[in-house]
Amino acid sequence: MKTAVLGFGTVGAGIYEMLQRAEGLEAGPVYVRKGKADTPWKTDDFDQILADPSVEAVAEAMGGLDPAFSLAERTLASGKHFVTANKMLVAEYGVRLQEIAERSCAAFLFSAACGGGVPLLHNLALARQADEIVSVQGILNGTTNYMLDQMQSAPGGSYESALHKAQSLGYAEADPTADVSGLDALRKIRLAAAVAFGLLPTDGFSEGIENVTAEDIRFYQSRGLILRLIAKTARTEEGVSAYVEPVLFGKDAPEAAVRKNYNLASYEGRASGLISFQGQGAGRYPTASAVIRDLESIRCGARRMFPEGTANGSADSPGSCSRYFVRTEKAFAALFPGAERLAEENDCVRLKTAPFFAKTMHSLVQTIREEDGRVMFAALDPLAEPEDYLC
């Protein structure tokens, strides 16, 4: 199956290289910016790719929405298969692209858009056919995991030095906002929600790691707790939840063992129980391997990852109920009724709250920030203190 590649950066170059060796696949033209087609196998003319009947599939690795969305629309409308590593594109326009794919009988797959080389979506799409998926969660952003790992392995490691190190190794972009705010992980868990539950959330909430200090880490470590950034989605009676927040785990939890920029993605099936995948969530070859896997799946007849009837909707479930460790100013402590005071220093107080739904906690914190208050929080994994899991 001859496949054109859109974009020749980190991932696109990996896809092109792997296409040369993949059995049953063939590298087609590589689409680059106007005036940058400096070899015969590159082109800056997308119409030429569409008009070429020998090109059966297009793999997109440009990123962003424009022109990725219009090229995706045109590819699928022409009946060619479309695979992508672009989480922004699928989170924003996945449902529309699926509708176009259905009309033209083309395939639309996007494994690489969530977890890079970690085969979460691929297996979720398979598992859903035989099992009811209850929840999906994991460490889905390698940059923030690397930074938290740095802060927790180097005594006194600051957020700023961890970010600088992640940038110097190429794990974090010059503008790291999407990673450190949790937005990147939220986009990925929205895709997982769509594949698992047939609802692509248009919203969700996220707390990243920007407010984590070296003192917070020292405090958690003194209690034997490890901090990770976790993305979660679940289907409950209230609907589907989708959110990202820092979570504290006991030292024996699998999440605590996920070091450097690795990902850990898990789903829970009603029949299968918990299934986990750990590996490289980004990087040229891990990500390209997920794109090649999608192309192989198409050769074997796969046409979709979203369940039939997948629609956009609101993630209106309040999420899990957990106790939270909170650091805030004393003036805001009363917002957490029944909280245990763990430590106080100057104007700062550390609390352990009663169990709260994630949505309640995130909106309380938003209230504090709207009043210019300082606050940082992390959920306590129920297994870190089993007797505390009350609701």
Ligand X SMILES: NC(=O)c1ccc[n+]([C@@H]2O[C@H](COP(=O)([O-])OP(=O)(O)OC[C@H]3O[C@@H](n4cnc5c(N)ncnc54)[C@H](OP(=O)(O)O)[C@@H]3O)[C@@H](O)[C@H]2O)c1
Binding mask 279-298 for ligand X (x = CB under 6 A): ---xx---x-----------
Q: How many residues bind ligand X (CB under 6 A)?
A: 22
> Is residue 318 a contact point for ligand X (CB under 6 A)?
no
> Is residue 259 a contact point for ligand X (CB under 6 A)?
no
Residues 6+ apart with CB under 8 A from 11: 61, 85, 112, 284, 287, 288, 291
**255 neighbors 228 (Cβ within 8 angstroms):** yes
Closer to ligand X by CB, 114 or 227: give it: 114
Burial of 84 (C-beta count, 10 Å sphere; 0-12/13-18/19+): buried
Task: Single out the residue of 1, 2, 10, 389 in contact with ligand X (rule: CB under 6 A).
Answer: 10
Whether residue 188 lies in the annotated active site? yes
Q: Give the sign of the dihedral formed by CA 57, CA 63, CA 67, CA 68.
A: positive
Token code pair at residue 300: 């074997």
Closer to ligand X by CB, 59 or 151: give it: 59
> Is residue 138 a contact point for ligand X (CB under 6 A)?
no
Closer to ligand X by CB, 137 or 287: give it: 287
Q: How far is the CB of 187 from ligand X (least distance, A)?
A: 9
Q: Which of 80, 87, 188, 359 is catalytic?
A: 188
Q: How far is the CB of 279 from ligand X (least distance, A)?
A: 12
Burial of 233 (C-beta count, 10 Å sphere; 0-12/13-18/19+): buried
**341 neighbors 349 (Cβ within 8 angstroms):** yes
In the window 105-134, what residues touch ligand X (CB under 6 A)? 112, 116
Tell me the residue number closest to ligand X, measured at CB: 9
Q: How far is the CB of 276 from ligand X (least distance, A)?
A: 19
Token code pair at residue 12: 């696109």
> Is residue 246 a contact point for ligand X (CB under 6 A)?
no
Q: List Cα–Cα distances, 52 to 7, 45, 62, 78, 228, in angstroms.
A: 18, 11, 21, 11, 47
Task: Single out the residue of 11, 120, 298, 380 in contact with ligand X (rule: CB under 6 A).
Answer: 11
Nearest residue to 58 via CA among 75, 74, 34, 41: 75
Closer to ligand X by CB, 18 or 212: give it: 18
Phi, psi of 288 (to 5 degrees): -60, -35
> Is residue 9 a contact point for ligand X (CB under 6 A)?
yes
Q: How far is the CB of 281 from ligand X (least distance, A)?
A: 7
Binding mask 263-282 for ligand X (x = CB under 6 A): -------------------x
* 202 Rama sector, left if φ>0, alpha if ψ -120 to 50, beta otherwise: alpha
> Is residue 61 a contact point for ligand X (CB under 6 A)?
yes
Q: How far is the CB of 103 from ligand X (least distance, A)?
A: 25
Closer to ligand X by CB, 45 or 252: give it: 45
Residue with tokens 């999407």: 178
Q: Rounded to whole angstroms, how far apart are CA atoms 368 and 25?
A: 54
Cβ neighbours of 172 (radius 10 Å): 22
Closer to ligand X by CB, 12 or 208: give it: 12
Which residues does residue 247 pair with via DSSP β-bridges, in sequence order? 228, 379
Binding mask 67-106 for ligand X (x = CB under 6 A): x-----------------xxx-------------------
> Is residue 355 a contact point for ligand X (CB under 6 A)?
no
Binding mask 25-44 for ligand X (x = CB under 6 A): ------xxx--x--------
**95 neighbors 310 (Cβ within 8 angstroms):** yes
Residues annotated as catalytic (active site), given as ranges: 188
The site for ligand X (CB under 6 A) is made up of 7-12, 31-33, 36, 61-63, 67, 85-87, 112, 116, 282-283, 287
